[in-house]
Amino acid sequence: MSGPSTGWEIVVGLEVHCELQTKTKLFCACPNAFGDEPNTNVCPVCLGLPGSLPVLNEQAVELAMRIGAALHCEVRSSSFHRKNYFYPDMPKDYQISQYDQPINVGGYLELPDGSRVGIVRAHIEEDTGKTSHRGESGRIHSADYALVDYNRSGVPLVEIVTEPDIRSAAQARAFVAELRGVLVAAEASDARMEEGSLRIDANVSVRAEGTEQLGTRCEIKNLNSLRSLGLAIEHEAARQVAVIDAGGRVVQETRHWDEQGGRTVPLRSKEEAFDYRYFPEPDLVPLDPDADWKARAAAGVGMLPAERRARLAALVGSPTSQQTDQLQAAVDQGLDDLVVAAVEAGAPAGLALVRAVNELAVDLVAARALDPGSFAALLQLEESGALSPTQAKTVLATLRDAGGGDPGAIARSKGFEALAEATLEGVVRDVVDAHPDEWARYLAGDDKLAGFFTGQVMKATSGKANGKAVAGALRRLRG
Amino acid sequence: MSAREIARAVRAGERSARGVVEESLAAIAERDGEVHAFLLVTGDEARSAADAIDAAVADGRDPGPLAGVPVALKDNLCTKGIPTTCASRILEGWRPPYDATVVTRLRRAGAVVVGKTNLDEFAMGSSTENSCAGPTRHPADPSRVPGGSSGGSAAAVAAGFVPLALGSDTGGSVRQPAALCGTVGVKPTYGAVSRYGLVAFASSLDQIGPLAASVEDAALLLEVIAGHDPLDSTSIAQAAPEVTASLDVGVAGLRVGVCDELVEGTAPDVVARVQQAADALVDAGAHVTRVSVPEMRYGLSAYYLIAPAEASSNLARYDGVRYGLRVPASDVAAMNVATRTAGFGPEVKRRIMLGTYALSAGYYDAYYAKAQRVRTLLIEAFSRAYEQVDVLLGATAPTTAFPIGERVDDPMAMYMSDVCTIPSNLAGHPAISVPFGTGDDGLPVGVQVLAPALEEARMFQAAAAIERAAPAPGSGTK
Ligand SMILES: [Zn+2]
């Protein structure tokens, strides 16, 4: 199954939960850590013990404001509500969340292709614990018992809600990829989907192309990878089109993405939706950050992916579409700082970019640690013709593994010494002498033969000659 | 012996804390079988705490302003390692892993906790009859209630078991039993005393408050427990009010308003005592006038929406998953229902249902939101009244102690017991009940002094004057 048939438009809005990388939890002093022994990072507050009270974590507020600033939101005075429902992994049986007065409202995120996705709000709330069902089958309904780990209970989350501005599965994936970059740049979240620190629900509807009215939406839960997100949107849109084509009506409901079955299945309908009985959280006071604090938070946002791409584009000049892909890759891979530093150290920008995304990306950790000066020196050798591209790539691999070094010395140690100019001239002369007919045609203006002579020189030098140097020698002989 | 006198004698080495505590425990052993003020007497812990204080005195260290004073704690205050039940089956077997902030402060001040007192389940009630452990009886008349919900703490002080006790006051739960039992009861300004470790009933209304045999002892206890606590976000960022200093100031020039709404609908013998207290204040130099705060009439209705709404959420956590009672069933949802059905008493269930309804989609604006608007109007009305007067005076409870069983089947009659105390909770203002003679039945009457937020000193100033003028016990009104 792929997307819906022609004539239909997909409309998607996303709700993204991201865990903030604070030292401690949202309302208590327990460590906010992933992967510890179950129920070791707990206290009366995050266990919801009788008599305990929440105290808001300042760092969480600051990170939430950073996210707001990075998404061009208005950062406002806000308050907390209680969202009431029974669930065993929620120790108070209510969740403290922001409701009608969220801290961030009305922003947008611009994607690499230039499209913009509106942000409705980005509010603070607490995470729940984690339930695991135990028993023969491993399934919820036939489980013998369940275990709950409250280490995650009370971990700070920011829920980012988009406008229904997304029009394809690919755009949804691009949005999440870009958002991850933003969250990491803001040092607000590590945004790891595989560890659950970034979790996505998608509201999907379809409508006839060219119409304005939104269709009935279904909310799909449990999307824990970019792949699932894309597949689930495509399957859900196709399902809805099939329902409408068959004369039916899409029912507003919450659906679950069944990864193994490759389909969405109903969880609960609108009629069965919970009445959360929201009311203002009496244990907390309104949150009213002053202008100074908001400014400090905004200043804490690092360089955003879009700014990084623009910086590389400016170095390259007017990037080709291939270079546009390359500079996005460089930013996604965290290699743009290296490229910029290498260019500052004298490297040609285009070559630095292509070598970074093609050669260095093999080992990103080592690549990010590579000394930009060594990288620049190597690129200069390649650019000048002193090393062939093949030789340059080999030397670069060595530089990357060593974290840097003298590229000339490495080249010599590998026997990549470029042929001395005089020696090369001699070889070229020998080749010319050996092929008088071809030389005559070349002199007569058949430029294609330059390639023939270069190939012969390469053969004679076992590839040690530099193509540009050979071309130069040929031109000089032609006079 | 007053708390102040005990602490003085213990600090001076004239009496041992151990001796004081033994007397308290002996009194409890002798009479609490009848009164049933305590759910748990912590004799062993009390004795070793007393010994530690005596050791400190012997070492020349200062054990604190409440050195060796026995105190009783309402059993909705968390005590580390000691069962805390809220008089509910649902908390069966639960021992908190931490002390409430007020308990920590009491221990640091040298007070000795002798036990946990009875209450209406989760502090929901006005008679201490809604307890899973059975009712507390009025120390002066065992056929009557001590009031509630802090009835155990009030009875423990009134019976002379302890000079000091703590209760919690959500709609009058400290002041009303204090009035009925003939003790002093204080509801501090909301946020003056940390709620950390107080098992929540209605978070925006709950305040912990002192019960004592005298205004001075109540002031002493308030100074120990009040003051900012970083563990409670609603705690006011200032130090404890210095109330003991205001006790001897007198009331010359103080403007006192006898509040119509705090005497209307009140029994004639209670009204007579309020009038007598007002006259005494005039004699002491105060300017006494009549004032009206008509918005108080909506207080009870607003309270019975806001308090149950917050309670319905606060009590959700008793689901059988983590602690307390669990009634096994086929799945989690069924276990939740079975546990809550078996664990909560009828009044708690009634309020959870009321509150759940008041917060439900489609009803929120008509009930909860409207009640909050009433609260705002009431606060504004209080502000207007306090432009004319410094404190308000009225009854604490509409009647003296009523017979056990009289109101259990009539929730509205029971709720009316708090009509005079609820306005202070809704406004977040301080109020104090001071014993002032008896009613026609010979049972104690309390008069209430209300003050603006954070004006505890002014409130105690008036309370001390009323106490000085109070008729001797047993003297009639006529
Ligand atoms: Zn914690």
Q: Is A142 exposed, middle or buried (0-12, 13-18, 19+ CB in 10 A)?
A: exposed
Q: Which residues contact A31 (CB under 8 A, 6 or more apart)?
A: A23, A24, A25, A41
User: What distance in Å separates the CA atoms of residue B267 and residue B263, rounded to the nearest whole number?
Assistant: 8
The answer to whether the CB atoms of A44 and B100 lie below 8 A apart is no
Residues of chain B in Cβ contact (below 8 Å) with chain A = 76-78, 84, 86, 91, 94, 96-98, 100, 195-200, 202-204, 230-234, 309-310, 312-313, 316-317, 319, 321-323, 332-333, 336, 356, 359-361, 364, 368
Tell me whether residue B173 is one of the annotated catalytic residues.
yes
Residues from chain B that touch A278, judged by Cβ atoms under 8 A, are 359, 364
On the question of pLDDT at A253 being above 50, the answer is yes
User: Which pLDDT score is estimated for B8?
Assistant: 98
Bigger pLDDT: B23 or A448? Answer: B23
A1 pLDDT band (50/70/90 cuts)? Answer: very low
Residue-wise pLDDT for B363-420, tens only, equals 999 999 999 999 999 999 999 999 999 999 999 999 999 999 999 999 888 999 999 9
What is the tally of helices (H) and strands (E) in chain B? 15, 11
**Residue B243 included in any domain:** yes
The answer to whether the CB atoms of A146 and B204 lie below 8 A apart is no
User: What distance in Å separates the CA atoms of residue B104 and residue B208, rounded to the nearest whole number?
Assistant: 14
- Give the closest of A44, A91, A94 to B97, CB-based: A44
Indicate the pairing of strand B70-74 with strand B112-117: parallel
Total Cβ atoms within 10 A of residue A390: 11
- Which two three-digit tokens encode residue A120? 């409705």
User: What distance in Å separates the CA atoms of residue B111 and residue A320, rounded to the nearest whole number?
Assistant: 80
On the question of pLDDT at B259 being above 80, the answer is yes
**Residue B364 included in any domain:** no
Query: From start to end of A224-320, where are the E strands?
Result: 253-258, 263-269, 279-280
- Give the closest of B94, B317, B361 to A93, CB-based: B317
The SS3 assignment for B314 reads helix
Strand partners, A68: none
Of B74, B126, B153, B194, which one is the catalytic site residue? Answer: B74
The answer to whether the CB atoms of A92 and B317 lie below 8 A apart is yes
**Residue B324 included in any domain:** no
Interchain CB contact of A84 with B (< 8 Å): yes
Total Cβ atoms within 10 A of residue A15: 17
CA B233 to ligand 1 centroid distance, Å: 16
- Which two three-digit tokens encode residue A468? 């540009």
User: What distance in Å separates the CA atoms of residue A17 and residue A198, rounded to the nearest whole number?
Assistant: 6
User: Which pLDDT score is estimated for A451?
Assistant: 87
- Which two three-digit tokens encode residue B140? 């002066």
The SS3 assignment for A127 reads coil
User: Which pLDDT score is estimated for A424?
Assistant: 78
Question: Structural domain tally of chain B?
Answer: 1
Residues from chain B that touch A279, judged by Cβ atoms under 8 A, are 309-310, 313, 359, 364, 368
User: What distance in Å separates the CA atoms of residue A74 and residue B245, rounded to the nearest whole number?
Assistant: 50
Total Cβ atoms within 10 A of residue B374: 18
Angle between helices A321-332 and A349-358 (to 10 degrees): 60
Least confident of A264-268, B202-206, B447-451: A264-268
Question: What is the residue range of B125's domain?
Answer: 3-299+370-469
Indicate the pairing of strand B164-169 with strand B70-74: parallel
3-state secondary structure A369-432: CCCHHHHHHHHHHHHHCCCCHHHHHHHHHHHHHHCCCCHHHHHHHCCCCCCCHHHHHHHHHHHH
Closest Cα in chain A, distance from residue B121 (Å)? 14
Closest Cα in chain A, distance from residue B478 (Å)? 47
- Give the closest of B78, B233, B368 to A285, CB-based: B233
DSSP state of A98: -
A3 pLDDT band (50/70/90 cuts)? Answer: low
Interchain CB contact of A275 with B (< 8 Å): yes
The answer to whether the CB atoms of A277 and B91 lie below 8 A apart is no
User: What distance in Å separates the CA atoms of residue B357 and residue B361, rounded to the nearest whole number?
Assistant: 9
User: Which pLDDT score is estimated for B61?
Assistant: 95
The SS3 assignment for A177 reads helix
- Among A82, A67, A105, A69, smallest CA distance to A27 is for A82
- Among A182, A125, A112, smallest CA distance to A152 is for A125
Mutation target vs A (from B95, B322, B363, B375; most A CBs, 10 A cutoff): B322
Total Cβ atoms within 10 A of residue B423: 33
Q: What global pTM score does this model have?
A: 0.90
Closest Cα in chain A, distance from residue B344 (Å)? 15
The amino acid that residue B107 corresponds to is: R
**Closest residue of chain A to B323, computed from CA coordinates:** A49
**Residue B89 included in any domain:** yes
On the question of pLDDT at A142 being above 70, the answer is no
Overall average pLDDT of the B123-143 stretch: 98
The SS3 assignment for A321 reads helix
**Residue B305 included in any domain:** no
Closest Cα in chain A, distance from residue B93 (Å)? 13
**Closest residue of chain A to B231, computed from CA coordinates:** A55
Indicate the pairing of strand A81-84 with strand A279-280: antiparallel
CA A22 to ligand 1 centroid distance, Å: 13
Contact between residue B75 and residue B85 where contact means Cβ atoms under 8 Å apart: yes
Residue bearing tokens 């998608």: A202
Interchain CB contact of A282 with B (< 8 Å): yes
The amino acid that residue B420 corresponds to is: C
Residue-wise pLDDT for A451-479, tens only, equals 898 888 888 877 777 777 788 888 888 87
Contact between residue A409 and residue A378 where contact means Cβ atoms under 8 Å apart: no
**Residue B355 included in any domain:** no
Closest Cα in chain A, distance from residue B90 (Å)? 12
- Give the closest of B197, B199, B359 to A279, CB-based: B359
The answer to whether the CB atoms of B196 and A52 lie below 8 A apart is yes
**Residue B421 included in any domain:** yes
User: What distance in Å separates the CA atoms of residue A232 and residue A10, rounded to the nearest whole number?
Assistant: 12
**Residue B363 included in any domain:** no
Q: How high is the mean pLDDT of chain B? A: 97
Interchain CB contact of A216 with B (< 8 Å): no
Residue bearing tokens 């084509």: A245
Cis amide leading into B149 (omega within 30)? yes
The answer to whether the CB atoms of B86 and A86 lie below 8 A apart is no
DSSP string, B351-412: HHHHHHHHHSTTTTIIIIIHHHHHHHHHHHHHHHHHHH-SEEEEESSSSSPPBTTSSTT-HH
The ipTM assigned to this model is 0.96
Q: Which residues contact A274 (CB under 8 A, 6 or more apart)?
A: A85
3-state secondary structure A10-45: EEEEEEEEEECCCCECCCCCCECCCCCCCCCCCCCC
User: Which pLDDT score is estimated for A417?
Assistant: 65
Mutation target vs A (from B80, B122, B231, B353; most A CBs, 10 A cutoff): B231
The answer to whether the CB atoms of B77 and A284 lie below 8 A apart is no
Closest Cα in chain A, distance from residue B59 (Å)? 36
Residues from chain A that touch B100, judged by Cβ atoms under 8 A, are 51
Interchain CB contact of A53 with B (< 8 Å): yes
The answer to whether the CB atoms of B96 and A92 lie below 8 A apart is no
Interchain CB contact of A50 with B (< 8 Å): yes
Bigger pLDDT: A145 or A1? Answer: A145
Closest Cα in chain A, distance from residue B45 (Å)? 22
- Which two three-digit tokens encode residue B449? 């002094």
Residues from chain B that touch A132, judged by Cβ atoms under 8 A, are none
Contact between residue B364 and residue A279 where contact means Cβ atoms under 8 Å apart: yes
User: Which pLDDT score is estimated for B477?
Assistant: 45
User: What distance in Å separates the CA atoms of residue A314 and residue A316, rounded to the nearest whole number?
Assistant: 6
User: Which pLDDT score is estimated for A136?
Assistant: 62
Interchain CB contact of A51 with B (< 8 Å): yes
**Closest residue of chain B to A145, computed from CA coordinates:** B331
Residues from chain B that touch A86, judged by Cβ atoms under 8 A, are 316, 319, 333, 336
The answer to whether the CB atoms of B332 and A146 lie below 8 A apart is yes
Contact between residue B133 and residue B39 where contact means Cβ atoms under 8 Å apart: yes
Closest Cα in chain A, distance from residue B180 (Å)? 28
On the question of pLDDT at A418 being above 70, the answer is no
- Which two three-digit tokens encode residue B419? 């009509």
Contact between residue B179 and residue B445 where contact means Cβ atoms under 8 Å apart: yes
User: Which pLDDT score is estimated for A281?
Assistant: 98
Tell me whether residue B74 is one of the annotated catalytic residues.
yes
CB pairs under 8 A between A and B: 97
Q: How high is the mean pLDDT of chain A? A: 91
DSSP state of A478: H
Chain-centroid distance, C-alpha A282 = 39
Residue-wise pLDDT for B264-306, tens only, equals 989 999 999 999 999 999 999 999 999 999 999 999 999 999 9
Of B16, B131, B173, B235, which one is the catalytic site residue? Answer: B173
On the question of pLDDT at B478 being above 60, the answer is no
Contact between residue B307 and residue B202 where contact means Cβ atoms under 8 Å apart: yes
